[in-house]
C-alpha cells in the first residue's frame, strides 16, 4: 500500500500509518477552485486520457487483472475525502486501457481495518472454493491494516459477479507475521508447480518475500530477496513477471519491480527493478559486478590527525576527523580509510561548518562520499539568524495574553505558550518567551486564532512558522492564512518539525487592502498542530535560517551546487559537475545547521576526476526517471501474453498538496513492457499502450528538416498547439549542447522543457517554470534519464495531458513522467537549441480527444 510514508518524528507519534510530506509552503496557491456548475472531468487540471476518480483521493493501483474482456483497475481510494485516509479499494474497468468506467466502491474500510494495496486473480480452477469451475471467483489478495494495532497482514476477498460485489473471507488474515511493515501482495498462478505465487514486501527491511499456496488460503514461505539496489526508503508494491529478451521466447528473464519511497532516482517515490532468474522458489538478480569509482586526485581524505587547512565553525564537526561513529551514534560505514568528517559530535543538536581553502577549478568533476541527514540546502537561507527586518509588528505573543486576537475551539488555549508543551518534542526558533502553539492536549484539539483587521501598507508579511504540514485547502489544515474580504489569499504551513523558521508572503498586489491573519488547526492526526510567532509587516523579506545538512560547492561566494545525505549512516558517492566553473575560485563547505532528527552530515574522499562518480541510486535500474511514477504494478492474464504496467502519477513528497479538486491523484498511461538489450545490458523498456492512438484526431501537424540555432521558436505554428497532445519527434545531433521541445508554453516564460543534453547524454524534463510549482519545495526541478543517441539521432515520444507529461526516449529505455500545472491558456509548442544548433528530422503532433467523451 504505500501508505505508511511518515517522517522519522511522525512515526513516534502516530498510532496508525498516515501519509505525510515534509516541506514548507508559503505560496499564494491553493487547490484549484471548482465552480459549482463545472461539469465533471472538465476541471482546470483534470487529465483527459489518464484515469482519475470523479472525486476524492486516489493513490496506488491495485488488483490489476484481465477477465472476460475487461481490464480491472482497482486503486487505493478514500471514499470520504480528498486526502489520504480511510483506505479502501476503488474500482474501474476498461476494454482498451484508455477508456475507463468508474464503478462503485469495491472493498471498503471498516471499524477494524483499512484495505491497503494488493492484487487480484481469477481462480479458474476454484482452488479456494469461493465459486465454481463454471463460474470461477475473482479473488482479491490485499493487506489488511489493523486500525488498533497497526499490524499489516494479508487477507482475501472474493467476487462471483465479475468484480462488481465482494465478500471478505471469514478466515482472514491468511498470512500474519505480526509486522507493521508487511504489505502489498502481488499474486499470480505459477504453472510449473501448479500453485499460486505471492510476492510481498517486508518494507522496512528492504526485502521481498515469496510465498506459495495451492488454494490462496494456506501459504508457505519460499525465500527472500534483498536488501539490494536502492534502499534509501521503504520497499513497497513489488511485482514479479517473466519477459522474453529482445522478443526471443527461448531467452526468458524475470523482472522484479520494487517501488521505493523515499530514495528514488529523482527524489521521493520511484519504481526500481531487477532483472534475473526465478526457479519457482527463489529470485536471483543478475550480478552487475563491483562498482569501481573513477580515478583522480584526492584533495581531502580526512586521514590526518586534524582537518589540515580546512576550517571549522561551531562544534558539530569536532576538532579532527572522526574514526567512524562518535559517541551516541549507530555504526557508520561506507567511508574510505580510517577517517571522515562527521558532524554528530555531541549529537544532532550541535551545528557548525567545515570549509576548505579556496582552490582553482581545473578538473571536470569533484567526486566525494556523503551520508547523514536528508536536509537539502535551500537557496535564500542564511547560516545565522539576525534581527528581524524593520517593520510593523502585528503580534509577538508576549505578555501572557492573545490581546485582541480571538480564538475558537481549544487548540490554542487561553494564552500563548511559553515553549514546549507536555509530551511535545522540543520547540525552538521562536523569539522572546511566547508563541502560538496548538499542541494543547496533543494533536487531538482543533480551533482558530484570528487577528483584528489591519491595513496592508508594506510589501511583505513575515512570520515564524513550524509544526505540521497540512496546507490550507486540504481536508484538515494546519495553516497560517491571510484573509482579505473573508477569502484566503495567502497561506503557509509547517514542515513536520517543531523548529520555527521565517516564511514570507509578497503582498505588494494587496497594498491598501484590509486584512486579517487567521491561524487554523483543524487536524487531529499526526503533526496535527501549528507553531507561529512574530508576525509583522515589512518592506523587506525575512530570510529563513538554514536547516540543511549538506556538502556545498561555493563559487564567487554563492552556493552553486549542493548534496545532502539520505537519512543513512552509510556514505555513498556523489559528484559536482565543475565544467562551467573552469578557472574560477571555489570552496567546499560542509554545513550542519540542523538540530533535529538526522541533523548531521558525513563526508569523505573528495577527488578531482574527469568522470562523475555514481551513487547506488544512480547505478540502480529504474522503470521511470521522473518524479511521478510510483507503486507501479502490472496486469495479470492480459491477452496475447502482453505485460502492461501502470503507476500512480504522483509522489509522496507532495502528493497531498497537488492543486486539484474535487479529486486528487491520477494514474499513468498504461505501458507495454519489454526487455531489450541496450548498450550491452538487458533493460526494462516501456511504451504507451497502443490504444492511446485511438484518441488521435485526424490531420496531424507535421514538420521536417528544421534547423534551430541558439533560440526557441514555435514548432509548426498554431496547428501544433494544445493541452492534450501525442508528439513523435526525431532529432539529429549537431553541435548544440541541449535541444528539444517546450510544451504548454505561455506568458512570462511558462513552459515545460523536454530536452536532450549532449554533454551528459541525458534526456531531461525541466518543470521549474511549468506553471504552479510553489505548493511544495520539492516540486520544481529537473529530472534526467541516461539516453545514448542511436546513429546520431534522438527519438522522442511525448504524451501531453492537462496536468502531466510522459516522455519516452529511444526504444523506451529512458522514460520520465512528471505532473505539471500550467495556466490553461498555455498551449504552445516550441523547438529549441542551446549553445549551438540541432536539426529536427521530423515531428508529428496529434491532438488527442478526451477519453471521457
Cell of 216: 490462496
Query: Residue 110's closest CA among 89, 130, 91, 129?
Result: 89
Phi, psi (degrees; rounded to nearest 5) at 220: -120, 130
CA 307 to CA 357: how far, in whole Å?
11
60 is catalytic: yes
Burial class of 748 by CB neighbour count within 10 A (0 to 12, 13 to 18, 19+): exposed
Q: Which residues of 411-432 are buried (b: 16+ CB within 10 A; e: fewer)?
A: bbbeebbbeebeebeebbbbbe
Nearest CA-CA partner of 113 in 17, 181, 219: 17
Q: Which residue has the cell 510522459?
A: 806
C-alpha cell at 700: 496531424
Three-state secondary structure along 603-634? EEEEEEECCCCCCHHHHCEECCCCCCCEEEEE
Cell of 171: 478466515
DSSP string, 451-463: PPPEE--SSEEEE
- Alpha-carbon span 574 to 553, nearest angstrom: 12
Given the residues 60, 521, 522, 653, the one annotated as active site: 60
The dihedral built from the CA positions of residue 181, 185, 191 and 194, taken in this order, carries a sign that is: positive
Instruction: Return d(Cα 498, Cα 616) in angstroms, integer.
Output: 32
List b or e across 763-801, with b for residues whose CB sees 16 or more CB atoms inside 10 angstroms.
bbbbbebbbbbebbbbbeebbbbbbebeeeebbbbbbbb
Is residue 275 within 8 A of residue 241, CB to CB? The reply is no
CB neighbours of residue 605 within 10 Å: 22
Q: In angstroms, how far is CA 186 from the centroid of its own chain?
A: 23
Cα separation, 797 vs 830, whole angstroms: 15
Positions marked active-site? 60
Amino acid at each position: 500500500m504505500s501508505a505508511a510514508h511518515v517522517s522519522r518524528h511522525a512515526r513516534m507519534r502516530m498510532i496508525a500509518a498516515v501519509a505525510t510530506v515534509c516541506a514548507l509552503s508559503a505560496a499564494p496557491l491553493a487547490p484549484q477552485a471548482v465552480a459549482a456548475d463545472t461539469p465533471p472531468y472538465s476541471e482546470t487540471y483534470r487529465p483527459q486520457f489518464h484515469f482519475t476518480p470523479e472525486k476524492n483521493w486516489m493513490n496506488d493501483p491495485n488488483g490489476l487483472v484481465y477477465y472476460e474482456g475487461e481490464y480491472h483497475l482497482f486503486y487505493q481510494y478514500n471514499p470520504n475525502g480528498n486526502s489520504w485516509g480511510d483506505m479502501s479499494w476503488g474500482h474501474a474497468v476498461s476494454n482498451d486501457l484508455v477508456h475507463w468506467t468508474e464503478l462503485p466502491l469495491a472493498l471498503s474500510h471498516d471499524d477494524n481495518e483499512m484495505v491497503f494495496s494488493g492484487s487480484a486473480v481469477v481462480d479458474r480452477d476454484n482452488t479456494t472454493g469461493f465459486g465454481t469451475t463454471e463460474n470461477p471467483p475473482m479473488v482479491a489478495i490485499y493487506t489488511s491494516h489493523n486500525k488498533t494495532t497497526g499490524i499489516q497482514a494479508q487477507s482475501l476477498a472474493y467476487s462471483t459477479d465479475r468484480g462488481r460485489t465482494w465478500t471478505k473471507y471469514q478466515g482472514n488474515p491468511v498470512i500474519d507475521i505480526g509486522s507493521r511493515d508487511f504489505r502489498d501482495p502481488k499474486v499470480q498462478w505459477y504453472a510449473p508447480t501448479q500453485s499460486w505465487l505471492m510476492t510481498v514486501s517486508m518494507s522496512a527491511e528492504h526485502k521481498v518475500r515469496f510465498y506459495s499456496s495451492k488454494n490462496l488460503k494456506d501459504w508457505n514461505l519460499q525465500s527472500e530477496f534483498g536488501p539490494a539496489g536502492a534502499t534509501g526508503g521503504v520497499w513497497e508494491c513489488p511485482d514479479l513477471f517473466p519477459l522474453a529478451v529482445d522478443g526471443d521466447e527461448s531467452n526468458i528473464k524475470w523482472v522484479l519491480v520494487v517501488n521505493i519511497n523515499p530514495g528514488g532516482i529523482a527524489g521521493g517515490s520511484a519504481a526500481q527493478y531487477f532483472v534475473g532468474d526465478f526457479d519457482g522458489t527463489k529470485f536471483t538478480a543478475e550480478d552487475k559486478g563491483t562498482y569501481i569509482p573513477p580515478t583522480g586526485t584526492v584533495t581531502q581524505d580526512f586521514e590526518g590527525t586534524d582537518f589540515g587547512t580546512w576550517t571549522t565553525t561551531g562544534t558539530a564537526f569536532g576538532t579532527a576527523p572522526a574514526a567512524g561513529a562518535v559517541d551516541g551514534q549507530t555504526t557508520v560505514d561506507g567511508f574510505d580509510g580510517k577517517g571522515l568528517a562527521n558532524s554528530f559530535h555531541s549529537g544532532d543538536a550541535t551545528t557548525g561548518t567545515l570549509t576548505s581553502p579556496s582552490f582553482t577549478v581545473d578538473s571536470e568533476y569533484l567526486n566525494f562520499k556523503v551520508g547523514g541527514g536528508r536536509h537539502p540546502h535551500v537557496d535564500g537561507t542564511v547560516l545565522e539568524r539576525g534581527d528581524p527586518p524593520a517593520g510593523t509588528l502585528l503580534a509577538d505573543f508576549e505578555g501572557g495574553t492573545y490581546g485582541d486576537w480571538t480564538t475558537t475551539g481549544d487548540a490554542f488555549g487561553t494564552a500563548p505558550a511559553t515553549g514546549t508543551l507536555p509530551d511535545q518534542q522540543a520547540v525552538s526558533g521562536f523569539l522572546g518567551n511566547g508563541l502560538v502553539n496548538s499542541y494543547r492536549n496533543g494533536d487531538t484539539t482543533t480551533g482558530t486564532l484570528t487577528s483584528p483587521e489591519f491595513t496592508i501598507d508594506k510589501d511583505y508579511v513575515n512570520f515564524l512558522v513550524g509544526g505540521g504540514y497540512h496546507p490550507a485547502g486540504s481536508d484538515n489544515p494546519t495553516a497560517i492564512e491571510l484573509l482579505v474580504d473573508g477569502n484566503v489569499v495567502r497561506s503557509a504551513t509547517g514542515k513536520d518539525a517543531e523548529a520555527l523558521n521565517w516564511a514570507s508572503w509578497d503582498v505588494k498586489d494587496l497594498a491598501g487592502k484590509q486584512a486579517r491573519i487567521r491561524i487554523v488547526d483543524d487536524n487531529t492526526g499526526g503533526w496535527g498542530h501549528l507553531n507561529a510567532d512574530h508576525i509583522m509587516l515589512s518592506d523587506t523579506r525575512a530570510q529563513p535560517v538554514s536547516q540543511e545538512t549538506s556538502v556545498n560547492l561555493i563559487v564567487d561566494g554563492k552556493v552553486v551546487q549542493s548534496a545532502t545525505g539520505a537519512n543513512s549512516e552509510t556514505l555513498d558517492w556523489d559528484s559536482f559537475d565543475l565544467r562551467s566553473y573552469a578557472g574560477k575560485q571555489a570552496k567546499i563547505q560542509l554545513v550542519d545547521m540542523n538540530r533535529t532528527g538526522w541533523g548531521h552530515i558525513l563526508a569523505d574522499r573528495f577527488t578531482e576526476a574527469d568522470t562523475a562518480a555514481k551513487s547506488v541510486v544512480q547505478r540502480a535500474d529504474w522503470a521511470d526517471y521522473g518524479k511521478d511514477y510510483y507503486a507501479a504494478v502490472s496486469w495479470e492474464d492480459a491477452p496475447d501474453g502482453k505485460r502492461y504496467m501502470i503507476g500512480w502519477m504522483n509522489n509522496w513528497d507532495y502528493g497531498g498538496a497537488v492543486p486539484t479538486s474535487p479529486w486528487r491523484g491520477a494514474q499513468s498511461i498504461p505501458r507495454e513492457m519489454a526487455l531489450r538489450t541496450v548498450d550491452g545490458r538487458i533493460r526494462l523498456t516501456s511504451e504507451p499502450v497502443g490504444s492511446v492512438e485511438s484518441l488521435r484526431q485526424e490531420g496531424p501537424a507535421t514538420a521536417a528538416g528544421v534547423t534551430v540555432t541558439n533560440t526557441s521558436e514555435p514548432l509548426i505554428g498554431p496547428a501544433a498547439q494544445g493541452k492534450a497532445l501525442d508528439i513523435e519527434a526525431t532529432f539529429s545531433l549537431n553541435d548544440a549542447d541541449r535541444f528539444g521541445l517546450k510544451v504548454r508554453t505561455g506568458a512570462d516564460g511558462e513552459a515545460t522543457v523536454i530536452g536532450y543534453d549532449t554533454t551528459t547524454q541525458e534526456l531531461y524534463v525541466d518543470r521549474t517554470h511549468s506553471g504552479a510549482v510553489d505548493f511544495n519545495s520539492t516540486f520544481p526541478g529537473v529530472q534526467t534519464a541516461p539516453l545514448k543517441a542511436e546513429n546520431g539521432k534522438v527519438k522522442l515520444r511525448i504524451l501531453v495531458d492537462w496536468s502531466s507529461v510522459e516522455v519516452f526516449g529511444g526504444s523506451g529505455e529512458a522514460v520520465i513522467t512528471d505532473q505539471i500545472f500550467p495556466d490553461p491558456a498555455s498551449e504552445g509548442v516550441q523547438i529549441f537549441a542551446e549553445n549551438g544548433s540541432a536539426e529536427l528530422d521530423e515531428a508529428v503532433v496529434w491532438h488527442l480527444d478526451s477519453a471521457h467523451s
